[in-house]
Structure 1
């Protein structure tokens, strides 16, 4: 049977333990973390995972290091707040045994607390799918601080049928925390690039992002949750610009 290496980017240790409990189907588990003072090593050892610890300045560097640490021909990349259901695990085992492609997208069911939100995701706040299954060497992360870019081999296969469950936000406050964190990173990227552009352009991008999430991606169907997601996605370009602009003054 074709081997699958599962990469888990560690966060909260309780989330990590639950995430790892769903990965018994994988032939190898690599837990990557920048934290050294919590119980992540203990949790990783309990599930027989290889622990990759280090200090990486950027998210892409950390994820690329984890990919390099894998020994299997296929890599499954998830975060500790994601869960691989039994149905998805079976599909992953079957697909990696027969697929002639170099990558496949995983559909995503994202929860805010106990609420499954299917519509309106966009930008750094959520997506309906991502290239989480790939052959080693077919995917590489960029070095941007916020939303690092991806380089993928063009031989991409069809999207899987069964979704990964993403429990990224315990409540609406989690969205606000993501907004603050992401815009701080994006502001640093803008300053490093050396060209902030005009504030008016940032306002236009913000309006466009809100429209994309709330109207085109049907965030309105999710009620207040959809409005909140669209508002955060909409504020992202403008707030990033303002943080970069004010830091330069």
Structure 2
């Protein structure tokens, strides 16, 4: 079985070298560069990647373009801030050699700076499992700007949880808050484009529900103040997106 590794990035020259180095065991490396102006293309070429350059308004569209460019029987789709540990590759190979399924979720180990935070992720602000190993043709991203939905062909197989992919999600608290601002602005644009801004009371309820779910249901309390911070960001994400779409629509269309 041929395994393609796919990375979609924009101006990620600082993060690409360790990411691409960790993907060396793949049979094919495809890098999609969306309006990149830094040295990302040169870095990708130095790692033997096939490069697809272009400009896509929606995250779903550029990810689908990358999937279409892969020629492997299976695809491993990772982000520039993720690293695949060497000990995970034999596991991936064993799975694709025998799996009858369309896709598998893989464990994600999320780091803020040098701190591993295992508990409390959720609410579209982070996850500890992602469906990133899939057969070619099984995965299709929807046309949205942030956290686009997915359509699948085929069933879900066993979860790969013994070894996790290292995800350097945020550098520090300020970086986390900047990510919340970016994500909520992109989501506001999606809400306006889809004509479904929703109501303030509903989004307040969603905010409180997500905070409770992440902090209590997903064990964020085990991480102390970090868990509380992640829960607050997860809850504020839909509320901020709603308020940006309602109060500043011209800035987010």
Q: 1:13-32, aligned counterparts within 5 Å?
A: 13-32=13-32
TM alignment of 1:166-177, pairs within 5 A? 166-177=167-178
In the TM superposition, residue 248 of structure 1 has moved relative to its aligned partner by 4.0
Q: Which residue of 1 aligns with 2:205?
A: 204
Distance 1:154 1:31 in 2: 25
Deviation at 1:211, TM superposition (A): 0.6
User: Aligned residue for 1:10?
Assistant: 9
Equivalent residue runs for 1:1-249 within 5 Å: 2-11=1-10, 12-160=12-160, 161-248=162-249
Please give the TM-score of this superposition, normalised by the length of structure 1: 0.96
Structure 2: 5+ residue runs without aligned partners? none
Shift of 1:148: 0.3
Provide the rounded CA distance (Å) in 1 between the counterparts of 2:198 and 2:36: 39
Spell out, residue by residue over 1:67-122, the C-alpha distance to the aligned partner (whole angstroms, 9 max, x if none).
00001110000001101111111111222122121211111110000000000001
CA contact (8 A) 1:214 1:220 kept: yes
> Structure 2 CA distance, aligned partners of 1:197 and 1:102?
34
Identify which range, 60-69 or 149-158, moves more after superposition. 149-158
Alignment partners' CA distance in 2, 1:36 and 1:198: 37
Report how far residue 247 of structure 1 moved.
Answer: 2.0
CA separation of 1:71/1:220 partners in 2, compared to 1, >3 Å: closer, same or farther? same
- Cα RMSD (Å): 1.3
How many correspondences in the alignment?
248
How far off its partner does 1:35 sit?
Answer: 3.1
Q: Do the aligned residues in 2 keep the contact of 1:58 with 1:145 (CA within 8 Å)? A: yes
Deviates more, 1:140-149 or 1:30-39: 30-39
Q: Distance in 2 between matches of 1:37 and 1:198?
A: 39
Q: Partners in 1 of 2:19 and 2:233 — Cα distance?
A: 27
**TM-score, length-normalised on structure 2?**
0.94
Deviates more, 1:65-74 or 1:92-101: 92-101
CA distance in 1 between counterparts of 2:212 and 2:219 reads 9
Deviations 1:189-211 (A, max 9, x none): 22222232221111111000101
Deviation at 1:174, TM superposition (A): 1.7
Name the CA distance, whole Å, in 1 between partners of 2:125 and 2:205: 19
Judge conservation of contact 1:10–1:32 (CA < 8 Å) in 2. yes
- CA contact under 8 A between 2:101 and 2:154: conserved in structure 1? no
